[in-house]
Amino acid sequence: MSLATAAEGAAPQENWLDKIGAGHVILAVALLLYPLVASDFFLTQIAGYSMIFGVLSLSLMLLAGYGGMLSLAQITVAGIAAYAVAILGSNNSNVLGFGWPWWIVVPFAVAAAAVSSALIGWISVRTEGIYTLMITLAIATATFYFAQQNYAIFNGHSGYAGIHAPVFWSINWRDPKPFYYLCLGLAMLSYAAVLYGSRSTFGMTLQAIRDNPRRMRALGYHVTAHKVFAWFLAGILAGLAGVLLVWFNGRVSPGTIGVDVAIDILIIAVIGGLRHPIGPFVGAIVVILMQTFAIDIVGAERFNTLIGLVFLVIVFVSPDGILGLWGRIKPHLAQESLRAGP
Amino acid sequence: MTENLAANRLQSTSAYALELDGVARHFGALVALSGIDMRIAAGERRAVLGSNGAGKTTLFNAVTGDFLPTAGRIRFFGEDITDLPPHERIRRGLRRTYQISQLFKGLSVLDSIFLACRGVSRRRFSLLRPPAADVNMVQARSILEAVHLEAYRNALVATLSHGQQRQLEIALALAGAPRFILFDEPAAGLSPTERRDLVAILNALPKHIGFIIIEHDLDVALRVANYVSMMHNGHLFKEGTPQEIEADPEVQQIYLGGKHG
């Protein structure tokens, strides 16, 4: 009797591990233990920052990888959430700042980002490929200049400063370790949600629309509505990343949502790979490491050249980014181990 | 007579599945369709024959809404659908297949058919994964059997052979509860064996489902249709039973002449 229950108990557990995958478990444990060995600088400036930009690029991967829609407006959407946090919460710029508590500010900021994203999507889904890229670039640029020149809402080129991450459960969530776990929590949740969602009904409809929108119409689908909903979901991810970004920086200004940042996000997504939601995180770590340390290697004058060269090499060697590179190396490694085995 | 009445009540509005009144389509100066009038009864199976460029596929595109007609009205079971977008026409029971397969190369065979079933059902935006017992998944598996693709249920569409892709084309059109189907050259590129299977699948469709089939292979077309329309240069120029059309000297000139000459 007790044996039978033990077997019954073991079966779903095995199933559970199979479902999640050993690789995911190892990665999660390593990331949870990382603060034991990492310095504060590596916790926030490298790991935390990479995870924020990973989630931001994940929102692009969702649109581009599953939906075939390229966007340069993801940082704009994140910026809307960041500005909303500054305006609805507290700042020390003596402009607006309603002083609402964080637990009201965050849902409002994310909702504002998601709705703006859906609006941007609704404008751009009538176009395809490079034209979508151009329209979203135009929106990103227009928002940047509007924020720079508007003082009533955006406080012009100086933007907002003195924005603080919340303090609750007697923890200051901007301290290195809490902030790292905050970023890790968001990154893991976003990653799991996108991975799960890719096999959901909506996820399948999005990939089918990417492959053949005409056929999807002939199967009874309102293709535009599905695309706009994808933008809405991507807006939630970008908005959450925007909230963490403004808590990380403590400030938001037009520079936060500049075209250079928009291009960084595209580079992160392409370097990492658009085939799998892990790609944006891999790309984010590589790009953030380069942006941080290239100055030490080649000096302040040339560090962008180095980043550009690495980008060119990766795209030249593997158009699918680092993920594609791994996909090509993995079978060789498996063969080597087989050969070594007997 | 009583059967007709019952069918009428079932379809509620009209004995005709499809009515075309003066449907025309111009591409600039090119007249692809000029004033087509056509009435097809519910459950009728009509073959449309004609040379390349006769306007057959343009006719299908006008009916499904892929391209809107420049003039004329289209009624589907009595309802005017001329101004409806394609997905609204599909949800009313219209289906089509394409001459060149229009499939989802990154999806599995089963998922493709599942999407076809879900497209005319509820929860199209669901963020949950469909369980194996989902009603649309069950439907998809039974369609998979009907078109003999069970062995390839988890294969990516991109890895299927041409013949299998043609079978999947038909599977997508059978999803949900079709009332009328447009088949655009379903036999294109199929082997003789696959053609026999196709004829069997078409003849095994429930009697209430009518269809139009565009087909160059008369062995297929005349075996599944009970009425035939001939098209040329955007016009309908002849109609008749398969026997009449087969015996027609003009048709023999166009279609059979080459074979015997």
Amino acid occupying residue B89: R
pLDDT at position B11, please?
46
pLDDT at position A3, please?
41
pLDDT at position B64, please?
94
Q: Check the CA dihedral B10-B16-B18-B20 and report its sign.
A: negative
Residue B178 with chain A: CB contacts under 8 Å: none
Average pLDDT estimate for B140-166: 92
pLDDT in tens, B237-252: 889 999 888 888 877 7
Report which of residues B10 and A101 the model is more confident about: A101
The answer to whether B115 and A218 have CB atoms below 8 angstroms apart is: no
Please indicate if any CB of chain B lies within 8 Å of the CB of A19: no
Helices (H), chain B: 2-11, 56-64, 86-91, 109-119, 135-146, 162-174, 192-203, 218-224, 242-247, 249-251, 257-260
> What are the beta bridge partners of residue B49?
B230
d(CA B210, CA B40): 8
d(CA A290, CA A269): 15
pLDDT band at B154 (very low <50, low <70, confident <90, very high): very high
Contact between B119 and A221 using a beta-carbon 8 Å cutoff: yes
d(CA A90, CA A156): 17
In this structure, of A311-325, B125-139, B234-248, the range with the lowest mean pLDDT score is: A311-325
In this structure, of A197-211, B9-23, B136-150, the range with the lowest mean pLDDT score is: B9-23
* DSSP state at residue B12: S
Contact between B128 and A200 using a beta-carbon 8 Å cutoff: yes
How close are the terminal C-alpha atoms of chain B, in Å? 46
pLDDT in tens, A269-305: 988 888 899 999 999 998 888 888 887 877 777 777 8
Closest listed residue to residue B120, CA positions, set B183, B184, B62, B174: B174
Give one word for A6, left, alpha or beta, with left for phi > 0 and alpha for psi -120 to 50. alpha
Average pLDDT estimate for A207-211: 95
Contact between A218 and B129 using a beta-carbon 8 Å cutoff: no
pLDDT at position B256, please?
59
Closest listed residue to residue A278, CA positions, set A55, A75, A63: A55
Burial A251-287 (b: 16+ CB within 10 A, else e): bbbbbbbbeebbebbbbbbbbbbbebbbbbbbbbbbb
Q: Cβ-count burial of A288 within 10 angstroms (0-12 exposed, 13-18 middle, 19+ buried)?
A: buried
Contacting A residues, span 184-203, partner chain B, CB-CB under 8 Å: 196-197, 199-203
d(CA A217, CA B12): 26
Please indicate if any CB of chain B lies within 8 Å of the CB of A216: yes
Residue A192 with chain B: CB contacts under 8 Å: none
Nearest to A215 among B91, B103, B114 (CB): B103
* Nearest chain A residue to B120, by CA: A220
The full set of domain ranges for chain A reads 38-258
pLDDT in tens, A109-141: 999 999 999 999 999 998 888 899 999 999 999
Report which of residues B257 and B237 the model is more confident about: B237
Q: Which long-range contacts (CB under 8 A, 24 or more apart) does A87-91 make?
A: A87/A153, A87/A160, A89/A163, A90/A162, A90/A163, A90/A164, A91/A160, A91/A161, A91/A162, A91/A163
d(CA A238, CA A51): 12
Contact between A211 and B106 using a beta-carbon 8 Å cutoff: yes
The answer to whether A101 and A95 have CB atoms below 8 angstroms apart is: no
Place of tokens 């100086």: A158
At a CB cut-off of 8 Å and minimum separation 6, what does A108 contact?
A84, A88, A100
Contact between A200 and B90 using a beta-carbon 8 Å cutoff: no
pLDDT band at A154 (very low <50, low <70, confident <90, very high): confident
pLDDT in tens, A84-109: 999 988 888 778 878 788 888 999 99
The answer to whether A272 and A286 have CB atoms below 8 angstroms apart is: yes
Contact between B107 and A208 using a beta-carbon 8 Å cutoff: yes
Measured CA angle at A214 (ends B74, A198), to 5 deg: 135
> What are the beta bridge partners of residue B71?
B24
Contact between B87 and A202 using a beta-carbon 8 Å cutoff: no
Q: Rank A127-131, A312-316, B202-206 by mean pLDDT and report only the highest.
A: B202-206
Q: HSE (CB half, 13 Å, CA atoms) of B173?
A: 30
Work out the minimum CA distance from A107 to partner chain B, whole angstroms. 20
pLDDT in tens, A233-272: 999 999 999 999 999 998 899 989 989 899 899 989 988 8
Please indicate if any CB of chain B lies within 8 Å of the CB of A229: yes
Write down the pTM of the prediction: 0.88
d(CA A50, CA A61): 15
Size of interface A-B (CB pairs under 8 A): 92
Q: Check the CA dihedral B109-B114-B116-B117 and report its sign.
A: positive
Please indicate if any CB of chain B lies within 8 Å of the CB of A126: no
Please indicate if any CB of chain B lies within 8 Å of the CB of A220: yes
Please indicate if any CB of chain A lies within 8 Å of the CB of B143: no
- State the pairing for strand pair B180-184/B94-96: parallel
Report which of residues B71 and A165 the model is more confident about: B71
Please indicate if any CB of chain A lies within 8 Å of the CB of B128: yes
* Nearest chain A residue to B105, by CA: A211
Q: Which fold has domain B2-93+178-260?
A: Rossmann fold (3.40.50)
d(CA B47, CA B221): 6
Q: Find which of A19, A66, A201 to mutate to test the B interface (most B CBs within 10 Å of its CB).
A: A201
For chain B, how many helices (H) and strands (E)? 11, 10
Please indicate if any CB of chain A lies within 8 Å of the CB of B115: yes
The answer to whether B49 and B215 have CB atoms below 8 angstroms apart is: yes
pLDDT band at A339 (very low <50, low <70, confident <90, very high): low
* DSSP state at residue A174: T
Contact between B126 and A212 using a beta-carbon 8 Å cutoff: no
Evaluate if residue A338 carries a pLDDT over 70: no
The answer to whether B227 and B206 have CB atoms below 8 angstroms apart is: no
d(CA A322, CA B24): 52
d(CA B257, CA B81): 40
pLDDT in tens, A4-30: 444 444 444 456 777 778 888 888 988
pLDDT in tens, A167-185: 888 888 888 889 999 999 9
Place of tokens 């599909």: B90
Q: Check the CA dihedral B192-B197-B199-B200 and report its sign.
A: positive
Residue B103 with chain A: CB contacts under 8 Å: 211-212, 215
The answer to whether A320 and A273 have CB atoms below 8 angstroms apart is: yes
Question: Cα separations (Å) of A204 from A21, A216, B137, B245?
Answer: 22, 11, 13, 45
pLDDT at position A179, please?
92
Helix (H) or strand (E) holding B181: strand B180-184
The answer to whether A129 and A100 have CB atoms below 8 angstroms apart is: no
Helix (H) or strand (E) holding A195: helix A176-197
Please indicate if any CB of chain B lies within 8 Å of the CB of A207: yes
The full set of domain ranges for chain B reads 2-93+178-260, 102-177
Q: Check the CA dihedral B144-B147-B148-B151 and report its sign.
A: negative
Contact between A216 and B119 using a beta-carbon 8 Å cutoff: yes
Three-state DSSP at A253 gives: coil
